[in-house]
Amino acid sequence: MRLPYAGLAVLCLIWGLSIPATKFGVMAMPAILLATLRYAAAAPFFAVLAWRGPRPAWRDLVRLAVLGVIGIDVGQVAQALGVARTPASVATVLSSTIPILVAALAAWRLRQPLRMIHIVGLLMAATGVGVIAFARGGTAGVGLVGVVLMLLSALAVAIYYVLAAEMAGRLPAASIAAWSSLFGAVPLVMALPWLGDPAPTAIGIASVLYLGLLVTVAGVWIWFVVLRHVPARIAAGTQYVQPVIGVAASALLLGDRLGTGFYAGAVLVLAGIALTARRGRSG
């Protein structure tokens, strides 16, 4: 049974490199165009997945459409725009706040308990984000607009996950991912003629294919396969590895200049994630 764990390791690498890949993409084309082409490439595969799965009721289709707008049209577009305005290392750490926001939203929407240790983790991570956002001198190219866009993306994706969890009792997770992705891709693909000539470059094409086929399609497929064989708590623990991979790759491939403010903030964010993921005790 080592194969699922090997798949999990591959998934860590694929998703950990998603922000650096996005950074390369927005260097080659406008951010919105990158997000559009990413889901245009992924849409045919999700169409097959949706066709093979159960047909949702009309009420669920409406909810899946809302999920697609929130998770893709807001979440992924905001992420692409945010990555274009921040160093990839900073964007990676800011995107790692998603599980923290999921914990906070789940406490409200799903009535899941949020204990004192979780609250401390949330506050610690929020402090880390503030340190990164307002760091001076060492972290080059950090702008408030980019930080806000990355946090908006993280919030939208967290809302997507929590609302999707509500539907998991009625529909398989794969169907939720497929239908919501298709609904989210439709507005982007329809806007494609007005987004200008992509003027394809090798880097741009590689970024689109990596994000569309590996991160979005293969990543989702591997995730669902892994969850059949690996405990969810272990699979979720990969969230600690992905930012490390992303930051290391950004420093190596993109030459991000990172100062003490970034590292201090990153430590606070990751420590906050670790505390938020703990079960804790009552009180």
Measured CA to CA in angstroms, residue 22 lies from 14, 163, 170 at distances of 12, 26, 34
- What is the pLDDT, as a whole number, of residue 234? 61
Contacts of 187 (CB under 8 A, 6+ apart): 69, 73
What tens digit of pLDDT does each residue of 74-109 get?
999 999 999 998 888 888 888 878 877 877 787 777
Please check the confidence at residue 65 and state whether its pLDDT lies above 90. yes
Q: How far apart are CA 280 and CA 283, in angstroms?
A: 9
Among 156, 195, 162, 181, which Cα is nearest to 70's?
156
Q: With contact defined as beta carbons under 8 Å apart, do 65 and 228 qualify?
A: no
What tens digit of pLDDT does each residue of 145-196 get?
888 999 999 999 989 988 888 887 788 888 888 999 999 998 888 887 777 6
* Higher pLDDT among residues 198 and 7, named by residue: 7
pTM: 0.81
Q: How far apart are CA 30 and CA 274, in angstroms?
A: 35
Say which amino acid occupies 240. Y
Q: How far apart are CA 247 and CA 147, in angstroms?
A: 16
Phi, psi for residue 33 in degrees, rounded to 5: -65, -40
Structure tokens at 188: 């982007």
Q: How far apart are CA 18 and CA 253, in angstroms?
A: 13
- Local confidence band at 235 (pLDDT 50, 70, 90 cut-offs): low
Please check the confidence at residue 138 and state whether its pLDDT lies above 50. no
Among 185, 91, 86, 95, which Cα is nearest to 143's?
86
214 SS3 class: helix
Give the single-character DSSP code of 240: G
Measured CA to CA in angstroms, residue 41 lies from 25, 63, 197, 213, 256 at distances of 14, 23, 17, 7, 29
Phi, psi for residue 61 in degrees, rounded to 5: -60, -40
What tens digit of pLDDT does each residue of 9-42 get?
898 899 989 999 999 999 999 888 899 999 989 9
Say which amino acid occupies 190. M
Among 239, 263, 242, which Cα is nearest to 131's?
263
Average pLDDT of every residue of the chain: 82
- What is the pLDDT, as a whole number, of residue 137? 46
